[in-house]
Structure 1
Amino acid sequence: TANPRPTTCPQTTLAPREAPACTATYTVTQADLDNNAVTDVATAHGTPPDSETPVDSPPSTLTIPESGLVAAISVVKVSEVTSIGAVGQQVPYRFHVVNTGGLTLTNVNVTDVQAPPSSNANLGPITCTTATLAPGESTACTATYTVTQADLDNDGVTNTATAHGTPPGSRTPVSSPPSTLTIPEGGLVAGIDVIKSSTTVTITAPGQQVPYTFLVVNTGGFTLTNVTVNDTVLPPSPRGELGEITCGPQDTPNGEVTLSPGASIQCRATYTVTAEDFTGSSLRNVATATGTPPFGPPPVSPPSPVDIPIPHPAIAITKSVTPTVVSAAGDVVTYRFVVSNTGTTALSAVTVDETDFSGTGTPGTITCGTPPVASGAVTLAAGTSTTCTSTYAVTAADIEAGRITNSAIAAGTPPTIPGQDPPAPVRSAPASAEVTATRGAAITVVKSSSTDKIVRPGQHVPFQFVVTNTGQVPLTGVTITDALTAPASAANLGPITCGPERTPNGAVTLAAGATVTCTATYTVSKADYHHGSLRNTATATGTPPDGPAPVSPESTITIPVKGKLPVTGSSFPAGLWMGAGVLAVLLGAALLLVVRQRRIRA
């Protein structure tokens, strides 16, 4: 409410669903900065056609936080007395205190510590003209010191002043760097000091106006004429962009100021930001002050630097993979990418791109964050990071190659600087991950038969064995072992041969992933028939180029006996029993034929 701002709308009559944008501008005050934010509440009003009573929208609140302001304070201690010469001499001190930060400081005060053998008991109270300083404001504090014999014996008095101030809210009070003053016993000296500051805390765009303030203090015992502030802008910023330096309320030109001992003056200048400034990480410059004493060399102040940061985009990526070892086609690995914004400005459209991938398959889609979003739809604030992942199914060619190598880079787009072309994305250094593919040996066998039952001794039962090299290396000397369960006998199993060439068992070679079909025939014995079933189990093995030979899992089949005659214990041959049965059938048929012929004659 301290800064009224009219709101303008392009139209005041709205049809249903019309939504024009109204605008207003608010001017930030120091109170807003001290409050750490500015909060605004908006309400819309309108009158419907069939009513004279306006309707109001729900309120819409927006809070914009303060960003990057710091609290800082400096002090310069001076005295018009340049030497001491008697016990009880009164030495007046002046403390020039400046708020060099961006926040208002309250409870501004100065502490002054005397170096032994001088005693603080001889320093009177320190009083200041004001206890509250806005950014860039200064105040003068004073105190008086009474010289002692110890000071004279010590050849002078030395003390150090520190200024303090409390920023808004619950922030911790800040203290200045110390300012030390030594007044010798006898002798005058010339001295000067300068404190440079700016209310600008960050550089945002070319053309920005950056105000600088220079507090110049005559710290010596002589009047100084031709007081001059020299401000050096450091590379990569170009020289000549700093405006004219003027001093005091009369805007006295730099170099035409006169300062008596202990006096101070405030000088000002404005720097115009250029595009070249953005090639560095900050706008840096250093000020010094000098003046001409009545005699002797001109004193030069210590340098007073100011370093204002410039947003700098940067991005980094680390990559890892789990698992790091695979052994078969179809194994799935997960790649993990940690992308970090290592710069000082936000990055949008953050992507992860695979730049070097040796796999023969197709990498999975890269997604980032929780919930996952597609790479390219991520925004990272300065100093934050996100984790992206993708998966990949290993191929047989990858296993054969022995490894899968993979590199990736991250990229992100910094904000557009007003008045300039959109910036190019910044890219990270590549990050790599590697998966090792082990070439293992493995084999399987599946046994089957087209015979589903045993019907008689002497029956021939065909067996089929389908052998597959399920490993990643070739196997030689592939062999099938068929174990028969008693009373079945291996003597009744014919030779096992493989493939259309009927290669002997044990002479087969299988490439990785290859399959061969082998066969053998078993002749059923009486013992098998009377046992009620024929059961056997097959396994397969082969010799790899190196390492142990793999053995397949067992493959077992059981063929039952069907229509088996009861066993009576008789030793009469089964063939004779069958012959007698056939004879009985023939006799019955003949008898039936004779009966039919007699009926026809009758």
Structure 2
Amino acid sequence: MRLAASTAAVALAIGSVSPAFADVTNTATATGSSPSGTGDVTDASNTVAVDPVDAAPGISILKTAVITTDGDSDLLGDSGDVVTYTYTVTNTGTTSLLSVDIVDTHDGDGAAPSPLFASWTTQAGSPAATVGASSITMYPGAVAVFTATYSINGNDILAAGGTGVGLSVDNDIDNSAVATGDYFNGVTTTSVPSAASLASVPLDIDAVLSVAKTAYEVDYPVIAGGSASATTPVAVDRPVGTVIYYVYEITNSGNVPITNVTINDVHNGLPGPFTQPVFFALTNTSGLSNNAGSDATVELLHPGDVAIYRTSYTITQDDVDQNQ
């Protein structure tokens, strides 16, 4: 006896992962018609539960810094040089991360770098990301590269000399980057700070003082006033009793401020007394140099500024005798 073709239907119900990471359950029920058509045949439902891996969000970051525009090719940061920072971010966890971005802080004078998405090293199925985006979505195992630039300015260099509130005083610009990403329910995971998330750019620090010393037969105030003698140094073979006026111009010829500037002159006249130079004036072009006490020590001399000292000496018979 040929049986009538039976008709079978299979119903499949699929569960979903909840924010609490419940089991994924599948319930299957089989039904069919009996050969005589007297009724349906149904088996008992069977349910299988699958426990997904526990959600363990994680993110890491590796940061590097390179001077990509180096005006004098010395591998040191000068005013106007451009630093390019590269940040490699990895989703090290088992759950997708949304709104992955980077916050970079530094001790430079200008605004901190703003990292933007540049490329994928490993996309791992992550949604496409727009180059230049500030945040992206990353699936587990994905590796993304962000970049940012910073232009070194004059204040960054000056800061290395110890001026400027809150600026670097260790001859470099230090940066620290942190990567963050959101997972279920908007909870955020953050990279752990480490040496890999730090980067430093060495600055070109050039501390230089130059001294110009001139001897005149007129006192410096007259010279400074622009008299005809201003460019006439003392003549040779001066007689006993001639007063020589020494003028010392100390210039900060470097690129960083210098503190506690003084001068000491070793005099060879014997045994005539010699008075060490005393502070006279300050050409404070920068507006930042100062000699608060107008004493022998200039507390702060900025690049390009000049501290002027003076003293005098009277030629003695002993000087003449020593010169025989």
TM-score, normalised to structure 2, is: 0.44
Task: With a CA cutoff of 8 Å and minimum separation of 6, indicate the structure with the bigger relative contact order.
Answer: 2
Larger Rg: 1
